[in-house]
Structure 1
Amino acid sequence: MSAPSPALNTPDTAAAPAVTRIGRFYISRELSRGSIGCVYLGHDPVIGRDIAIKTFNPRLTAAERHRYEQQFINEARAAGLLSHPHIVTVYDASVEGGMPWIALEYLQGRELSKLLDGGHRYLPEEVAAIVWKIADALDHAHRRGVIHRDVKPANIFMIRDDQPKLVDFGIARSPNRIPEKSADPQGPVTLVTGNRLVGTPNYMSPEQASGKPVDARTDIYSLGAVMYEMLTGRKPFTADSADKLLQQIACKAPAAPHEIDSKIPPALSQIVMTAMSKRPEKRYETAEKMALDIRRYLVRQRRARRRMKIPVPALEQHDPQAVQQERGALFWISCLSLAAAAGIAALAVLR
């Protein structure tokens, strides 16, 4: 489901709510509205916190609600399995008066897509720090059997010091998913569900674009496409029709990011191209391995900055996870260095 994110709207776009209460939550105002979904700012009187309530657009007909209700419930089921600092938190979900709703973490910020469309360009290290966190979030989801299937800038929400949150699990594949009535619940995830595209064409993997079965590596490709756009300022493929675009995704290799902009580090360019390999078996086997490659790059850059006494970017300053993981990486790098040194010393003694 393409529905608005649980974001804070500016005052001129906020609207009076169509409802004043959903479940136990009091509704103060409407945050955003899409063709299918609507997000309200709510308050939980029990916990005493603000939340985002996602439900159907009140203008939908009964038939339209029935059509999307299953997908809406599946979003709550998929996201509800996950608990990660870079995945939006689901607090509660229910159906009231035939209207399903999801209570979500209230995020204040902007979608990555709006930042990119507005001309914002990230430095290579900033791109690496953001994508690393999303890769780690995807690894968390994949380990729990959840495949997002629609990773794109519009579903990456940027908050505080440009910290990302993966949102909108409306078309995610999960173990507790309610299957389509016409589909085999154990069958493969494919491109078309109910005669409509599953995913967003610009960020689809080749197997998605070809209507073939997909697995978790489709998310890795999509994240690579997002990283490509963040680094270069352009999408990997563009075309004047969806058919041509899907054909390019399925058959054509994009230019490497560092070939488009020589300022892009080749190491990051290689990570992107590995993630975006046409054949799934040529990509990173897991999102964890992609995250590890990005982390190694960040560790090398941080060590180089320290040698040159260059300040750490704000994006990484207040990230305890980054510091902790970097220390772990430096620990193992030190161990490997000591082991290598010991091996050389042993050889010298034997000689």
Structure 2
Amino acid sequence: MSAAATPFSRPGTQGTPLHRIGRFSVQHELGRGSTGCVYLGHDPVVGRDVAIKTVNPRLNGAEKSRVAQQLINEARVAGRLSHHNIVTIYEASSEGGMTYIAMEYLQGRELSRLLAGGRRYEPHEVASIGWRLADALDHAHRHEVIHRDIKPANIYMVKDLQPKLIDFGIGRAPNRLPDPAAAADESYTLVGDHQLLGTPNYMSPEQAQGHPVDARTDIYSLGAVMYEMLTGRKPFHAENADKLLQQIAYKAPPPAHEVAPGIPLALSRIVMRAMSKRAEKRYQTAERMALDIRRYLQKERRSQRLLVPVETADRNATQDGDQSPVGWVTAGVLLTAAIAGALAWLLVRSPA
């Protein structure tokens, strides 16, 4: 992210510096894509930095209107949620011909950029990140929100391996603004002869076939993300989008532990269950997936404790506050000696 503050032209005008969006002062541009721009702003009322997402001014009228509605929908969908692993939306508005949403300013990088840059994660790191994301999805699903586009580009990594789910623009929720010109599951990604909702590499089989989806589509996509993090490769590869969709719909990827032998079998099984072709064979809720990952992490932690040297275990209590086994043995010996001494003293003092 750039540290220099530079002025930008207001959408729809030429050469007019953009210093404010709504009540927020604009510091500098953080990023720009084909449909939107993101600026670093400052909220003078609360006194905090925010990220401000607006429509790319270079879009034509129809595209501008569609993306503006998508921004409002993102705010309406994500605004229902409050979870430490989901980006927080502060405000959404349309004024002066500009539609924008102000959200939590995250400092870090998208998971997609980290993976593309060669970042590899250890299995326990993947499990820790996956557990947090599954818990975030469980929160969203309980509030009737389906993300529908879980992928590395929509997972923002901040410090201490903390992931943040971002971009709910095509998410589904009861308060989403309807589009009279589109079906309920209208897509924003055109592949072949089909309008598809989501990103092909990570979409579920039912999503790839254009079928209605439920919360289990997010579970599949999270499994696909974890698969890539573990193995360093996407579950499927094809020379064109149509063949890729065929593979997603009908072909099972090789198990993660077979692609990368160092992956623990228990973690591989969690990922492969999440990626089952048939939705009824997957985890039926993100909560169940999160629980299985948590059990895996707890088991791994216990196994790591067994590798701690005896003298170290004797000095320190465990993270759960329990004394180490060696400590309990030592305490037992001392207690037994104390009791024996007391009995001997009583026998000497007794007339019998």
Q: TM-score, normalised by structure 2?
A: 0.82
Contact 2:206 2:249 in 1 (8 A): yes
- State the distance in 2 between where 1:242 and 1:102 align: 32
1:346 aligns to what? none
Contact 1:190 1:213 in 2 (8 A): no
2:285 aligns to what? 286
**Structure whose alpha-carbon radius of gyration is higher:** 2
1:159-183 Cα shifts (integer Å, max 9, x gaps): 0112100000010001100112034
Contact 1:56 1:101 in 2 (8 A): yes
Counterpart AA for 1:77: R
- State the distance in 1 between where 2:220 and 2:268 align: 14
1:28 aligns to what? 27
Contact 1:250 1:278 in 2 (8 A): yes
Aligned partner of residue 306 in structure 2, secondary structure = helix
* 2:156 is the alignment partner of 1:157: yes
- State the distance in 2 between where 1:182 and 1:102 align: 24
Flag the 1:183–1:267 CA change in 2: closer, same or farther, 3 A.
same
1:232 aligns to what? 231
- State the distance in 1 between where 2:238 and 2:259 align: 18
- State the distance in 1 between where 2:168 and 2:186 align: 16
Aligned partner of residue 8 in structure 2, secondary structure = coil
Contact 2:196 2:207 in 1 (8 A): no
Aligned-residue CA RMSD in angstroms? 1.9
2:172 aligns to what? 173
- State the distance in 2 between where 1:64 and 1:213 align: 25
- State the distance in 1 between where 2:178 and 2:243 align: 30
Counterpart AA for 1:17: F
- State the distance in 2 between where 1:15 and 1:284 align: 48
2:74 aligns to what? 75
Q: Offset of 1:52 from its aligned partner?
A: 0.5
- Structure 2: segments with no counterpart, 5+ residues: 10-17, 310-318, 322-352
- State the distance in 1 between where 2:115 and 2:234 align: 11
Q: Offset of 1:11 from its aligned partner?
A: 4.9
Counterpart AA for 1:96: E
Q: Offset of 1:16 from its aligned partner?
A: 3.8
Contact 1:86 1:133 in 2 (8 A): yes
Q: Offset of 1:191 from its aligned partner?
A: 5.5
- State the distance in 2 between where 1:141 and 1:45 align: 30
Counterpart AA for 2:276: S
Contact 1:225 1:236 in 2 (8 A): yes
Contact 2:188 2:198 in 1 (8 A): no
* 2:13 is the alignment partner of 1:17: no
Counterpart AA for 1:60: L
2:106 aligns to what? 107
Aligned partner of residue 250 in structure 1, secondary structure = helix
* 2:137 is the alignment partner of 1:138: yes
1:54-77 Cα shifts (integer Å, max 9, x gaps): 011122222321122221211010
Counterpart AA for 2:87: V
Flag the 1:15–1:244 CA change in 2: closer, same or farther, 3 A.
farther
Q: TM-score, normalised by structure 1?
A: 0.82
Counterpart AA for 2:307: M
- State the distance in 2 between where 1:65 and 1:271 align: 41
1:116 aligns to what? 115
1:16-75 Cα shifts (integer Å, max 9, x gaps): 433110111000101100011100000000000111000111222223211222212110
- State the distance in 2 between where 1:98 and 1:109 align: 31
- State the distance in 1 between where 2:77 and 2:66 align: 19
1:256 aligns to what? 255
Counterpart AA for 1:268: L
- State the distance in 2 between where 1:32 and 1:223 align: 25
Counterpart AA for 1:222: S
Alignment of 1:1-351 (within 5 A): 9-11=1-3, 16-18=7-9, 19-183=18-182, 189=185, 196-309=195-308
Between stretches 194-203 and 140-149, larger displacement belongs to 194-203
**Alignment length (residue pairs):** 301
Identity %: 67
1:344 aligns to what? none
- State the distance in 2 between where 1:252 and 1:191 align: 23
- State the distance in 1 between where 2:171 and 2:97 align: 23
Flag the 1:38–1:268 CA change in 2: closer, same or farther, 3 A.
same
Counterpart AA for 2:306: R
Flag the 1:45–1:98 CA change in 2: closer, same or farther, 3 A.
same
Aligned partner of residue 244 in structure 2, secondary structure = helix
- Structure 1: segments with no counterpart, 5+ residues: 1-8, 311-322, 328-351
2:312 aligns to what? none
Counterpart AA for 1:277: S
Contact 2:186 2:196 in 1 (8 A): no
